[in-house]
Amino acid sequence: MSDQSLRGRVGAWLEDRTGYTSILHEMLNEPVPGGARWAYVFGSALTITFVIQAVTGVLLMTAYAPSSSTAWASVYHISFVMSGGWLVRGLHHFGSQAMVVLLALHVLQVAIYGAYKRPRELNWLFGLGLLAVTLGFALTGYLLPWDQKGYWATQVATNIAGTSPGIGPQLQTVMQGGTEYGSLTLTHFHALHVMVLPASLLGLVMVHLFLFRKHGVTPPTNADLKKVDKFFPAQVWKDLAAGLAVLGVLFALAIREHGAPLDAPADPASDYPARPEWYFLPLFQLLKYFHGPLEMVGTMGIPAIAGLYLVLLPFFDKKPTTALGPRLPLLAPLFFGIVGMGGLMFAAMSSDAADTKFQASRKVADERAKIALDLASKGIPPGGALEMVKHDPELRGRDIFEKKCAACHVLGDIGDRAKAKAPSLDGWGTEAWILQMMHDPDAKERFGSTPFAGMMPSMDVAPKDPKDAESFKPMKPEDMKAAAVFLAAQGDEPGEASPARDTAQVEAGEKIVKSRCTACHTYKGEGDDSSIEIAPDLARYGSIAWVESQVKNPATKATYREKALSAEYKGHMPRFDEELSAEDAALVARWARSHARSSSPVAAK
pLDDT by residue (tens digit) across 235-250?
Answer: 889 989 999 999 999 9
211 and 64 together in one domain = yes
pLDDT confidence of residue 369? 93
SS3 of 245, please? helix
406 and 381 together in one domain = no
57 and 122 together in one domain = yes
254 and 370 together in one domain = no
What average pLDDT does this structure show over 415-419? 87
- pTM given for the model: 0.81
Q: What DSSP line would sit under 146-170, residue for residue?
A: -BHHHHHHHHHHHHHHTTSTTTHHH
pLDDT confidence of residue 243? 92
Confidence of residue 227 (pLDDT cuts 50, 70, 90): confident
Check pLDDT > 60 for residue 38.
yes
In a 10 Å sphere around its CB, with 0-12 CB exposed, 13-18 middle and 19+ buried, how is residue 293 labelled?
exposed
366 and 294 together in one domain = no
Q: What DSSP line would sit under 523-588, residue for residue?
A: BTTBS-TTT-SSPPP-TTTTSHHHHHHHHH-SSSTTTT-GGGGSGGGTTSPPP-TTTS-HHHHHHH
7 domain-assigned: no
268 and 345 together in one domain = no
Q: Which domain holds residue 511?
A: 400-597
388 and 450 together in one domain = no
In a 10 Å sphere around its CB, with 0-12 CB exposed, 13-18 middle and 19+ buried, how is residue 254 labelled?
buried
Comparison of pLDDT for 528 and 496, the residue scoring more: 496
428 and 384 together in one domain = no
Give the Cα separation of 262 and 195 in Å (integer): 24
Please, are residues 111 and 313 in contact by the beta-carbon 8 Å criterion?
Answer: yes
What average pLDDT does this structure show over 499-506? 91
Instruction: Give residue 73's identity as a one-letter amino acid code.
Output: A
N- to C-terminal Cα separation, the chain: 96
pLDDT confidence of residue 25? 65
Confidence of residue 88 (pLDDT cuts 50, 70, 90): very high
Confidence of residue 15 (pLDDT cuts 50, 70, 90): confident
Burial 369-385, CB ≥16 within 10 A → b, else e = bebbeebbeeebeeebb
Output DSSP code: residue 218.
-
136 domain-assigned: yes
pLDDT by residue (tens digit) across 123-145?
Answer: 999 999 999 999 999 999 999 99
pLDDT confidence of residue 569? 56
- Our count of domains for the chain comes to 4
373 and 504 together in one domain = no
Lowest mean pLDDT among 39-43, 251-255, 458-462, 560-564: 560-564
Please state the separation of Cα 567 from the chain's center in Å.
44
Q: How many CA atoms lie within 13 A of 270 on its CB side?
A: 24
Task: Pick the closest to residue 322 from 128, 503, 120 (CA basis).
Answer: 120
Confidence of residue 357 (pLDDT cuts 50, 70, 90): confident
377 domain-assigned: yes
9 domain-assigned: no
Q: Which of 205-209, 259-263, 297-301 has the highest mean pLDDT?
A: 259-263
414 domain-assigned: yes
CB atoms within 10 A of CB 524: 12
Please state the separation of Cα 243 from the chain's center in Å.
31
| CATH number assigned to the domain comprising residue 118 | 1.20.810.10
Comparison of pLDDT for 159 and 600, the residue scoring more: 600
Lowest mean pLDDT among 186-195, 394-403, 565-574: 565-574
pLDDT confidence of residue 56? 97
pLDDT confidence of residue 146? 95
Plot region of 284 (φ>0 → left; ψ -120 to 50 → alpha; else → beta) = alpha
Please, are residues 114 and 234 in contact by the beta-carbon 8 Å criterion?
Answer: no
10 domain-assigned: no
Confidence of residue 26 (pLDDT cuts 50, 70, 90): low
23 domain-assigned: no
Check pLDDT > 80 for residue 24.
no
What average pLDDT does this structure show over 456-479? 86
368 and 409 together in one domain = no
Check pLDDT > 90 for residue 75.
yes
pLDDT by residue (tens digit) across 545-580?
Answer: 999 999 998 887 778 776 655 655 555 788 898 889
26 domain-assigned: no
Comparison of pLDDT for 490 and 567, the residue scoring more: 490
Task: Pick the closest to residue 128 from 307, 284, 381 (CA basis).
Answer: 307
Give the Cα separation of 281 and 347 in Å (integer): 9
97 and 218 together in one domain = yes
Lowest mean pLDDT among 159-163, 335-339, 586-590: 159-163
pLDDT by residue (tens digit) across 97-113?
Answer: 999 999 999 999 999 99
- Mean pLDDT, rounded, of the chain: 88
71 and 172 together in one domain = yes
CB atoms within 10 A of CB 53: 21
